[in-house]
Structure 1
Amino acid sequence: MEVAQHASFLHSTSEWPQLQLERGRQTSLVEQIVEQVTHLVYQNDLIVGAKMPSVRQFAKCNAISTFTVVESYERLITLGLLCSRRGSGYFVSKPAGLPVATAQAELPNSLDALNPDLYSGVSSALPAGSGWLPPEWYGDDILLDAVRQSMRIPTQRLRGYGNALGFTSLRQHLARHLSAELFAVDAEQILLTHGATHAFDLILRTLCKPGDTVFVENPGYSNLLSLIRHYGCHPVGIRRNRDGLDLDDLLAKALQHPPKLMFVNTVLHNPLGTSLSQAQAHRLLALAEQFDFWLVEDDIYRELCPRPEPSLAAMDGLRRVVRVGSFSKTLSPTLRVGSVCAAAPLISELLRVKMLTGLTTSEINERAVLHAISSRLYRRMLDKLKRQLDISRNASMNLLLEAGLTPLAEPRGGMFISAGWDHSAVTASDIAEQALQFRILLAPNDFFTLTPDPQPWFRFNIAYSNTAELLAFFRSVRHSSL
């Protein structure tokens, strides 16, 4: 679909470009107008605050009825792309999920799971495949107040590097919470890190040596695969699908390649959004016992789960399970605070490696997290966040189905839906590169898999996926490529 683009219309409604409307198409004129205006907004050809033509001007310019324009404007208002001001007309507004363009808001030259631009959060593109939630979903008060409070650190605390294990009060708070909710743990069994990826790094450095076999879920967390290879270890993928972890596949591969350890998302798996059943968790622990390997439980999504789910750490008592937590999904990825819970002897080894590679973690960040999660508003905020996720998940699922994509699994909660097609003439990566031209950031399947997947699919962040722009893009891809 070609859309006429003239920069002058940003400042003058009299020079509004004529849209490419086709009366013979199955898509109605209203839907075509919504798609094309949405495209202009996300391309920043229509800037936030720009005044739209009046209903009569728009109708005259495009040779359509005023009734069609009114319905189109109403739909655009519903989508959050327009707002009306009594006596003034219609104006472009900032829809949920549209980042504000900045001088640094450039698109990445190409897609790569480790491209720094994909993590910056400053791109003006729609982050449909991103791993973070919109800041406004958390509520400004709790986080900003926590950051302000953290800056009131006593002067004497600025003289040294801080506690090597991490801020004592935060570890004590985590120990109380975990002991009440999941399993008994002491504050000395908790090591604070710069987020979950730092925790994975410390665990690999401590427990593995080059040539060791490491089991991962396939599909699974993209950065983890690169990290394992970086240390000269051999990643082996264990199938994960809509039914959970394929434990028969694990057994067969353990007989061939006995692993040193395995990373597993028990709850709200990234990217499928599924959780292990109690029976699967029991059998997984039995296999870890049989083949004598460590289980690293990536547990960073548990607080987003709408219902209780199994905990490997609770079932095992931290004998051969190492639990990794983080606050990047429930507060902000900017704070960079994660945690490792493990048996005391392993914590001592992890602490030694932490000191060797980076000394201590930021007490200021850890103080901010403590203040936030100690607040009476935190639980209320989490409940609100889960309700918002439920609403957005349903809306995004409906949109993806409307676009012709099939979900790989039914998510049990959380941030992600993975969906794609059974057949395609092009790969998911090719489609993701094409999406960049429309200022849409997608996460294709090869970010998450060890081996090529003939079925093209993508991980979608439900906070940014219920948009007319995304629907229009996938409709065009489906029409031209499938």
Structure 2
Amino acid sequence: MATTGTGPALPAAWPALPIDRASRASLVEQIVAAIAAMVKRKELRVGTRMPSVRQFARSNGVSTFTVVEAYDRLLNLGLLSSRRGAGFFVARSAPPALLPATGVDPMVPATTTVDALTPDLYSGVSEALPVGAGWLPPEWYGDTTILDAVRQAMKIPANRLRGYGHPLGFPTLRQHLAAQLSDSLFAVDAEQILLTHGATHAFDLILRTLTRPGDCVLVEDPGYSNLTSLIRHHGCIPVAVARGDDGLDFAMLAAQAAACQPKLMFVNTVLQNPLGTSLSQAQAHRLLGVAEQFDFWLVEDDIYRELAARGEASLAAMDGLRRVIRVGSFSKTLSPVLRVGSICASPSLLPELLRVKMLAGLTTSKINERAVYHAVSARPYHKMVEKLIGQLQSHRERTIDVLAEVGMTPVARPRGGMFVSAGWPADESNRSARLIAGQALKAGILLSPGEFFMLGPSPTVWFRFNVAYAAEAPALLTFLHTVRP
């Protein structure tokens, strides 16, 4: 390849990339993936000058706007650099965090996991049996608890309807949360609590505050599917750390942390979604040690703690909110319609999180927060949660028995909570859980395939089952009999 004073030059004729206009992936995604692959194969070496935006657009029959966005993504990912007046140049010899253990090339943007199935998994308006959904039946929360709380919340004097509400969130709810956490887990002040529109909003604020495009973020694999898409949306690179029946793979965690120097890691300490497992006290201590060694934040997704046994490990309690940011939510013990979550963080970090919250959307809903306060502070609440735990336990055991009838075994043995993830051993048919989920939807059954929760391909066909709906569902059993290997 010829060289110039500014580094290796491309051939005069830039080769057309294999762009498929019928693909579900956008033109931008295909261009980014193709160039990342060329860098990986060393067809493009460090210092190679890329064609101008107009040259690239002309060679590939795309608009200059498409090329600009693709180059911008490649800049954010660190694969390209730009020099004023000189153009764009290859900046890396290999994608960061490219470890065989991840199962995928994290630099090649995957198509989003949100497809025709996922809106139904969150909307609650589908007529399909919600075996794969993340919410409990409304009647499990009690007949009047939520309605009474909403009625109480609406009783606001007119003179309190001025303004947008407290930036941190409804003070009385924050004080209640601080008292509950201080009593059961760790000492925290109400001024260290920021209320959000649910846990996903909390994750978004944390990513906005602590990461920049191109940063690596560690995630559990399998783990929360929406989180991976959110990380990619921010231009960051999700990097997998395997989690199974025995907890986290610490050898893989150390290797990934050393390779990609992550800014933070998201982890479900208790009743992990989708496996339902919990980290032991020893594993939690070890995780804190790795975070300290490689200097990254730990975001503890703690939304299932109220459904777990007392005494389970708490990263926030062990760490005292020095390196841990705790995210909570009420969607699992109250209705998910009440979108209220919380962030507990150190006094040094909270002001910046608050600033980002106000920039991104001002304050959160005082009505929702008042309703949550009235619900969780009412006398029947704790009895309702205890009843939930009992119902989940009996339905969980029944679900495991039902799935065994069609040859399905748990991916991991859950310690509690709402989910059982189970599947069949690997076979030679190369079947896809996603395709089976599509067939199930046509049969009126909403499944969550294992691919939703993993960064790479799964060696087996498995699904996450909501035990509240799967335990007593003859239609599910009939369908699984028809598709079993």
Counterparts of 1:357 and 1:316 in 2: how far apart (Å)? 29
The CA deviation string for residues 84-107 of structure 1, in whole angstroms up to 9 with x for no partner, is: xxxxxxxxxxxxxxxxxxxxxxxx
Q: What is the CA-CA distance between 1:157 and the residue it aligns to?
A: 1.7
Q: What is the CA-CA distance between 1:111 and the residue it aligns to?
A: 7.2
- Is 1:403–2:409 an aligned residue pair? no
Counterparts of 1:394 and 1:148 in 2: how far apart (Å)? 37
The CA deviation string for residues 31-81 of structure 1, in whole angstroms up to 9 with x for no partner, is: xxxxxxxxxxxxxxxxxxxxxxxxxxxxxxxxxxxxxxxxxxxxxxxxxxx
Amino acid at match of 1:411: P
Quick check: 2:196–2:340 contact (8 Å CA) kept in 1? yes
Against the structure 1 CA distance between its residues 113 and 376, is the aligned structure 2 distance closer, same or farther, given a 3 Å change threshold? farther
- Is 1:147–2:153 an aligned residue pair? no
Quick check: 1:213–1:259 contact (8 Å CA) kept in 2? yes
Q: Which residue number in structure 1 is paired with residue 446 of structure 2?
A: 441
- Is 1:473–2:476 an aligned residue pair? no
- Is 1:274–2:250 an aligned residue pair? no
Q: What is the CA-CA distance between 1:193 and the residue it aligns to?
A: 0.1
Report 1:410-449 matches (<5 A).
410-424=413-427, 425=429, 426-449=431-454
Counterparts of 1:147 and 1:305 in 2: how far apart (Å)? 26
Counterparts of 1:358 and 1:308 in 2: how far apart (Å)? 36
- Is 1:455–2:447 an aligned residue pair? no
The CA deviation string for residues 224-259 of structure 1, in whole angstroms up to 9 with x for no partner, is: 000000011011000000111111110111111111
- Is 1:322–2:325 an aligned residue pair? yes
Against the structure 1 CA distance between its residues 214 and 304, is the aligned structure 2 distance closer, same or farther, given a 3 Å change threshold? same
Report 1:273-422 matches (<5 A).
273-422=276-425
Q: What is the CA-CA distance between 1:306 and the residue it aligns to?
A: 3.0
Counterparts of 2:166 and 2:385 in 1: how far apart (Å)? 29
Q: What is the CA-CA distance between 1:387 and the residue it aligns to?
A: 0.5
How many residues are treated as equivalent by the alignment? Answer: 370
Q: Which residue number in structure 1 is paired with residue 62 of structure 2?
A: none
The CA deviation string for residues 330-378 of structure 1, in whole angstroms up to 9 with x for no partner, is: 0010000000000012110010000001000000000000001101100
Q: SS state of the match for residue 334, structure 1?
A: coil
Q: What is the CA-CA distance between 1:423 and the residue it aligns to?
A: 2.3
Q: SS state of the match for residue 458, structure 1?
A: strand
The CA deviation string for residues 418-445 of structure 1, in whole angstroms up to 9 with x for no partner, is: 0001124211011101101110000001
Q: Which residue number in structure 1 is paired with residue 60 of structure 2?
A: none
Counterparts of 2:441 and 2:318 in 1: how far apart (Å)? 44
- Is 1:210–2:213 an aligned residue pair? yes
The CA deviation string for residues 104-140 of structure 1, in whole angstroms up to 9 with x for no partner, is: xxxxxx9728833331112111011000000000102
Quick check: 1:415–1:463 contact (8 Å CA) kept in 2? yes
Q: SS state of the match for residue 430, structure 1?
A: helix
Counterparts of 2:325 and 2:355 in 1: how far apart (Å)? 17
Q: SS state of the match for residue 343, structure 2?
A: strand
Counterparts of 1:307 and 1:344 in 2: how far apart (Å)? 27
Structure 2 gap segments, 5+ residues each: 1-112
- Is 1:189–2:192 an aligned residue pair? yes
Counterparts of 2:116 and 2:330 in 1: how far apart (Å)? 21
Quick check: 1:111–1:432 contact (8 Å CA) kept in 2? no
Against the structure 1 CA distance between its residues 114 and 167, is the aligned structure 2 distance closer, same or farther, given a 3 Å change threshold? farther
Quick check: 1:111–1:433 contact (8 Å CA) kept in 2? no
Counterparts of 2:257 and 2:426 in 1: how far apart (Å)? 32
Against the structure 1 CA distance between its residues 113 and 416, is the aligned structure 2 distance closer, same or farther, given a 3 Å change threshold? farther
Against the structure 1 CA distance between its residues 113 and 461, is the aligned structure 2 distance closer, same or farther, given a 3 Å change threshold? farther
Most deviating of 389-398 and 305-314:
305-314
Counterparts of 2:404 and 2:311 in 1: how far apart (Å)? 28
Amino acid at match of 1:434: Q
Quick check: 1:165–1:190 contact (8 Å CA) kept in 2? yes
Against the structure 1 CA distance between its residues 366 and 111, is the aligned structure 2 distance closer, same or farther, given a 3 Å change threshold? closer
Counterparts of 2:258 and 2:123 in 1: how far apart (Å)? 42
Alpha-carbon RMSD? 1.2
Against the structure 1 CA distance between its residues 261 and 113, is the aligned structure 2 distance closer, same or farther, given a 3 Å change threshold? farther
Counterparts of 2:309 and 2:416 in 1: how far apart (Å)? 6
Counterparts of 1:413 and 1:308 in 2: how far apart (Å)? 14
Amino acid at match of 1:195: G
Counterparts of 1:157 and 1:399 in 2: how far apart (Å)? 53
Report 1:4-403 matches (<5 A).
112=115, 115-403=118-406
Amino acid at match of 1:397: I
The CA deviation string for residues 290-325 of structure 1, in whole angstroms up to 9 with x for no partner, is: 000000000000000134200000000000100000
TM-score (norm 2): 0.75
Against the structure 1 CA distance between its residues 399 and 114, is the aligned structure 2 distance closer, same or farther, given a 3 Å change threshold? closer
Quick check: 1:296–1:322 contact (8 Å CA) kept in 2? yes
Counterparts of 2:271 and 2:116 in 1: how far apart (Å)? 20
Amino acid at match of 2:230: L
Against the structure 1 CA distance between its residues 209 and 114, is the aligned structure 2 distance closer, same or farther, given a 3 Å change threshold? farther
The CA deviation string for residues 175-232 of structure 1, in whole angstroms up to 9 with x for no partner, is: 0000010000000000000000000000000000000000000000000000000011
Q: SS state of the match for residue 349, structure 2?
A: helix
Amino acid at match of 1:274: T
Quick check: 2:262–2:296 contact (8 Å CA) kept in 1? yes
Amino acid at match of 1:346: L
Counterparts of 2:275 and 2:116 in 1: how far apart (Å)? 17
Q: SS state of the match for residue 412, structure 1?
A: coil
Amino acid at match of 1:453: S
Q: SS state of the match for residue 335, structure 1?
A: coil
Quick check: 2:276–2:418 contact (8 Å CA) kept in 1? yes
Structure 1 gap segments, 5+ residues each: 1-109
Counterparts of 1:120 and 1:443 in 2: how far apart (Å)? 14
Amino acid at match of 1:443: S
